[in-house]
Amino acid sequence: MTLAERLRAALGPGSVFSATEDVITYEYDYGLDRGMPDLVALPRSTAEVQVLVREAQAAGAPVVARGAGTGIAGGAVPARGGLVISMARMNRVVQIDRPNRCAVVQPGVVNLDLSKVAEPYGLFFAPDPSSQKASTIGGNIANNAGGPHCLSLGATVNHILGLEVVLHDGSVVRMGGKSPDGPGLDLTGVLVGSEGTLGVVTEATVRLLPLPEAVRTTLALFASVEAASEAVSGLIGRGVVPSALEMMDKLALSAIEAAFHAGYPPEAGAVLLVEVDGLLEQVEAQAAVVDEVCRGAGAIEIRLAASDEDRARLWAARKGAASAMGRIAPNYYLHDAVVPRTRLPAILAQVIEVGERYDLPIANLFHAGDGNLHPMILFDIRQPGILDRVLAAGQEILSRCIDAGGTITGEHGVGMEKQAVMPLIFSAEDLEVMRRVRTAVDPSGNFNPDKVLPMPDSHTPAAARGQSAPPGIPDGLWI
């Protein structure tokens, strides 16, 4: 029997696919790279994942776990073909444990859905990537996803208490649990952010936080990015750490407001979306400081969201910003780098200069509070030679961020996109330690191969090698 036949016999009909028309939608994520899987399986239980891993290993086939495919760095792309395990059917919230403020969930649970289920208990799941309406807990764990509200609450790793994981030999291990800060090595922390290279997560125990008593959301308008950046440094310098502190420049605002009509002023040079939450007295005091600091930095106008509906509208537009860019150009290349907050004005000036030199419009929207930039290079793929300019501009922006004391990713992961630049921030010894950990946990090397760590032939994205998108199929390049 072939591997496909064995897997179909084990999982039953409608669970394993091999026809090109069935598996082609699993060859890409929201980034540039592509790789066609040989098989795609949709298990419903940990036991079925065990079967898939054991059979794939026996056949020497690579194994790539996949969430919703919203990643931007090629992390879920099957670089060597093999078996893609889609966790879409493992989407149950197993338990909401209100006394312990945690939940037990399967990896296919959508991020936002978890908070909706927890809301009647007065709780929510803090990590909130912009893709939270679609991205899954398993994918968030793989990439250690961030989001606007991770400035004060921390990224995904700070909210994962325990994991159930299928290892390379098909065995199941549990690490961590409902009791925080257990003794021994933090193996849960090692798994979070490992991008599926160490095992397949089949269940997670996640921390839930109480819904805040009060929330204040402020939209501050500035004449320039430099003035808005001064306000960011001023807020942190005053000891105020908002729950969220987002910045958008003029080009981004023009597209966002045209798409969503949420009240973002397209005439502003930049805006800050600042949110503080907590006890009512605390929130009122912090909101007053936000107002004072923004006015001191030269804010043209300060608007307070008057209702929950206004607040929701502002955040829906911010988190839908990427989709709005189609009003400016048919294609975009989204980067993800981090710099010290104090370097934001200088780096943003350099981003603008790079865009002008390469004759490419660049829209900037980012998590200003933690220096996480998301420059979006806008272009038209039909223009001959344009992709070479886009990729060169992206590489230069990344290099400038590294030179400023920053790093290559804040929340999107390394995947295939950035593995070639890992030596720019890690020494050979650092990378060798990472390889040893990976080999110790997965000696087969079959879990999500050719990802994260640089390969001898680490490459530019597949799109740059002449591949084109299948008609009608969107990703981070063809939108």
Instruction: Write down the domain spans for the chain.
Output: 93-210, 212-405
Q: Using 50, 70 and 90 to split pLDDT, how confident is the model at 459?
A: low
Q: What is the mean pLDDT of the segment spanning 191-197?
A: 97
Q: What is the pLDDT of residue 475?
A: 36
Q: What is the pLDDT of residue 179?
A: 83
Q: What is the pLDDT of residue 458?
A: 59
Q: Which amino acid type is present at position 403?
A: D
Q: Using 50, 70 and 90 to split pLDDT, how confident is the model at 100?
A: very high
Q: Using 50, 70 and 90 to split pLDDT, how confident is the model at 109?
A: very high
Q: Using 50, 70 and 90 to split pLDDT, how confident is the model at 468?
A: very low
Residue 472 has pLDDT above 80, yes or no: no
Q: What is the pLDDT of residue 462?
A: 44
Residue 476 has pLDDT above 50, yes or no: no
Average pLDDT score, the chain: 91
Q: Using 50, 70 and 90 to split pLDDT, how confident is the model at 277?
A: very high
Percent of the chain with pLDDT over 70: 95
Helix ranges, 12-45 (H): 20-23
pLDDT tens digits along 380-418 = 989 999 999 999 999 999 999 999 999 999 899 999 999
Q: What fold characterizes domain 93-210?
A: 3.30.465
Q: What is the mean pLDDT of the segment spanning 51-65?
A: 97
Structural domain 212-405, CATH architecture? 3-Layer(aba) Sandwich (3.40)
pLDDT tens digits along 223-237 = 999 899 999 989 988
Residue 465 has pLDDT above 60, yes or no: no
Distance between CA 415 and CA 370 in Å, rounded? 22
Q: Using 50, 70 and 90 to split pLDDT, how confident is the model at 457?
A: low
pLDDT tens digits along 311-365 = 999 999 999 888 899 889 998 898 899 999 888 888 988 999 999 999 999 999 8
Whether the domain at 93-210 and the domain at 212-405 fall into the same CATH topology: no
Contacts of 99 (CB under 8 A, 6+ apart): none
Buried b (16+ CB within 10 A) or exposed e, 275-306: bbbbeeeebeebbebbbebbeebebbeeeebe
Q: What is the pLDDT of residue 473?
A: 31
Residue 217 phi/psi, 5° resolution?
-115, 120
Please, are residues 275 and 312 in contact by the beta-carbon 8 Å criterion? Answer: no
Q: What is the pLDDT of residue 194?
A: 97
Distance between CA 129 and CA 146 in Å, rounded? 6
Residue 59: count of CB within 10 angstroms of its CB: 17
Please give the C-alpha separations between residue 149 and each of 77, 127, 315, in angstroms, as whole numbers: 28, 7, 11
